[in-house]
Copies of this chain bind each other. A is one copy, B any other.
Amino acid sequence: MNGAEALMRTLADGGVEVVFTNPGTTELHLVGALDAVPQLRGVLALFEGVVTGAADGYARIAGKPAATLLHLGPGLAYGLTNLHNSRRANSPVVNLVGDHPTYHNAFDPALASDIAALGGWLRGPVRRPENAAGAGTDAAAALAGAVESPGQIATVIVPADVSWSDGGVVAEPMTSKPAPPVAQDVLTQVAEVIRSGDPVALVIGGPALREAGLCAASRIAAATGVRVLQELYSNRVEHGAGLPTFPRLGFYPDQALEQLAGVRHVITAGAKAPVSFFAYSDKPSCLVPEDAATHVLAEVGQDAVAALTQLADLVAPDVAADVVEPRRPALPTGPLTLQSWCDVVAALLPERAIVIDESVSSGVALADATSGAPRHDVLMQTGGAMGDGMPLAVGAAVAAPDRPVVALISDGCAMYTVAALWTQAREKLNVTTVILDNRSYAILRQEWKYYSRRPGAGDPDSNPLFDLADPAIDFVRLAESFGVPATRATTAEELAEQFSNALSEPGPHLIQAVVPPAA
């Protein structure tokens, strides 16, 4: 068995089922091995940003990593930005990067580069087997590293001669440590803080944003008056009827400072202490009020759900969670607004949907509108890098082929990774993409206005660098060019009809929803 096959069999034995890929020559033996291991499914994308974003989406829904298969440093580089988003999502991913054979890089061929530096940028483990015998071991170690709580981006650099040489040995899966528990004295101290009667905010994130964590937080809030806030951008949030819901921390510091005004203690569970997403010359970076203390109930990576549950048992033993009743907005009418498109989605959202939210400035009304819709998962862009949404939809749909995926994508975000539509068509994925088309980088206009020290005297509404209207992108033709049926909606009625139709048919669809830019 060659090294490539040993590596692929090791991943399969460790539970990997899917390899998202855009391969090249140095990966051909890995492609051959992928073909030879029936437990593994190769999913082709036309651009590495789609490959890596899909692996992220897969991990968030499947709860385990996919592998990526990428072409040397330049292939990894194209995929790096969505791996940054994955890193910030704490999604486990195993990158397989084919390299020149061990002896060839010394000649500095055109595709040579420092691949390990790119892997290191992602702050996860980087392995490089030296021979075929080590390929399985390094794959097993990378897989164990990827799933180490809270999840990491592991990279295996595979020299082509490691792949093609005989002597490969399939390695046993390594056991990974579970999320470390929170110490009892931390629980006791946090319970005391809550019982002090001081105003307290509890910021929850990561796995605490699923049912058990949300319910525990809700019990604590109901019993003690603690103000619960959801972190700004999350890997996966369970949302909808039958679940508690909490406000998200605001994107702008003024919003978050208002949410936290008057609190004397900020407790974090599975989330970091609130920090301004961007910095502004007259706003603080740290959003915890100056006279408030920060208490970490559960670090990111610790078992925040168990800690919240134990805390709820301490401070709210007989209190039930406060959950949202089923309710949907009425179907709106008239030209699309930033409220009405959200109401259409909320009114028609199917059962067990996976919602990808990369709607940026167009989506501020979404969470409220959908809070009583059928229970669903929301996946967000986590690292601030645009272009994650459409690939996330690919990965989520591959992970859960029986669930409808609804991808809500701003026009600006769509343009980084639009080739994702081709993979959606090729794999017949049940993804309904709604492009929120405001023909601008509205968030930048908004930021420009928000800045207290404005850059130059210009009017952002007339700055051409924020304008996407010339030419206006025809997303219907764009989707059709990739084999995805598409329509355009300018009114709520059109959106409702097209959204219903798209959801009722198998395979991908796209709707270009023309919306006004956010103020």
Interface contact A114-B121, CB-CB below 8 Å: yes
A21 at the interface (CB under 8 A from B): yes
Interface contact A113-B121, CB-CB below 8 Å: yes
Q: Which residues of B contact A426 (CB under 8 A)?
A: 470-471
Chain B, residue nearest A458 (CB)? B35
Interface string of A94-110 (1 = CB under 8 A from B): 00000011011011111
Interface contact A111-B387, CB-CB below 8 Å: no
A481 at the interface (CB under 8 A from B): yes
Given contacts A25-B278, A117-B117, A458-B35, contact A474 B481 (CB under 8 A): yes
Q: How far is the CB of A45 from chain B (nearest CB, A)?
A: 9
Interface residues of A in 13-47 (CB under 8 A from B): 21, 23-26, 28-36, 42, 44, 46-47
Give the contacting residue for A387; candidates B42, B78, B85, B117; CB below 8 A: B78
A463 at the interface (CB under 8 A from B): yes
Give the contacting residue for A481; candidates B28, B425, B448, B475; CB below 8 A: B475
- Expressed in whole angstroms, the Cα–Cα distance for A24 and B442 within the complex equals 11
- Expressed in whole angstroms, the Cα–Cα distance for A160 and B412 within the complex equals 23
Give the contacting residue for A412; candidates B46, B279, B285, B476; CB below 8 A: B46
Given contacts A32-B455, A465-B44, contact A100 B412 (CB under 8 A): no
- Expressed in whole angstroms, the Cα–Cα distance for A411 and B160 within the complex equals 26
- Give the number of copies in the complex: 2
A334 at the interface (CB under 8 A from B): no
Given contacts A23-B465, A47-B416, A81-B74, contact A456 B114 (CB under 8 A): no
Given contacts A29-B455, A426-B471, contact A88 B110 (CB under 8 A): yes
Interface centre among A5, A30, A383, A472 (most CB of B within 10 A): A383
Interface centre among A74, A163, A233, A472 (most CB of B within 10 A): A74
- Expressed in whole angstroms, the Cα–Cα distance for A177 and B447 within the complex equals 42
Q: How far is the CB of A193 from chain B (nearest CB, A)?
A: 23
Q: How far is the CB of A96 from chain B (nearest CB, A)?
A: 14
Interface string of A442-468 (1 = CB under 8 A from B): 011001100101111010000111011
- Expressed in whole angstroms, the Cα–Cα distance for A482 and B385 within the complex equals 23
Give the contacting residue for A108; candidates B100, B275, B470; CB below 8 A: B275
Give the contacting residue for A100; candidates B28, B44, B279; CB below 8 A: B279
Interface contact B47-A107, CB-CB below 8 Å: no
A219 at the interface (CB under 8 A from B): no
Q: Which residues of B contact A448 (CB under 8 A)?
A: 28
Q: Which residues of B contact A382 (CB under 8 A)?
A: 110
Chain B, residue nearest A166 (CB)? B453
A263 at the interface (CB under 8 A from B): no
Interface residues of A in 209-249 (CB under 8 A from B): 233
Give the contacting residue for A28; candidates B29, B75, B444; CB below 8 A: B444
Interface string of A166-210 (1 = CB under 8 A from B): 000000000000000000000000000000000000000000000
Chain B, residue nearest A30 (CB)? B455
Q: How far is the CB of A312 from chain B (nearest CB, A)?
A: 29
B-contacting residues of A (Cβ < 8 Å)?
2, 4-5, 21, 23-26, 28-36, 42, 44, 46-47, 49, 72-75, 77-78, 80-81, 84-85, 88, 100-101, 103-104, 106-111, 113-114, 117-118, 120-121, 160-161, 163-164, 233, 272, 275-279, 281, 285-286, 382-385, 387, 412, 415-416, 418-419, 422, 425-426, 443-444, 447-448, 451, 453-456, 458, 463-465, 467-468, 470-478, 480-483
A-B pairs, 3 with minimum CB distance: A32-B455, A32-B456, A471-B483
Seed contacts A24-B444, A42-B464; 19 additional CB < 8 Å A-B pairs: A5-B456, A31-B463, A32-B455, A34-B465, A73-B84, A75-B385, A77-B77, A106-B285, A107-B276, A108-B272, A109-B384, A110-B382, A163-B455, A415-B419, A418-B419, A473-B482, A473-B483, A477-B480, A478-B482
What are 27 A-B residue pairs whose CB atoms fall within 8 Å in the complex? A4-B455, A28-B444, A32-B454, A46-B415, A46-B416, A74-B84, A74-B385, A77-B77, A77-B80, A77-B81, A78-B387, A103-B285, A104-B276, A104-B285, A106-B285, A107-B275, A108-B275, A109-B275, A109-B279, A109-B285, A110-B383, A111-B278, A118-B118, A425-B471, A426-B471, A471-B483, A474-B481
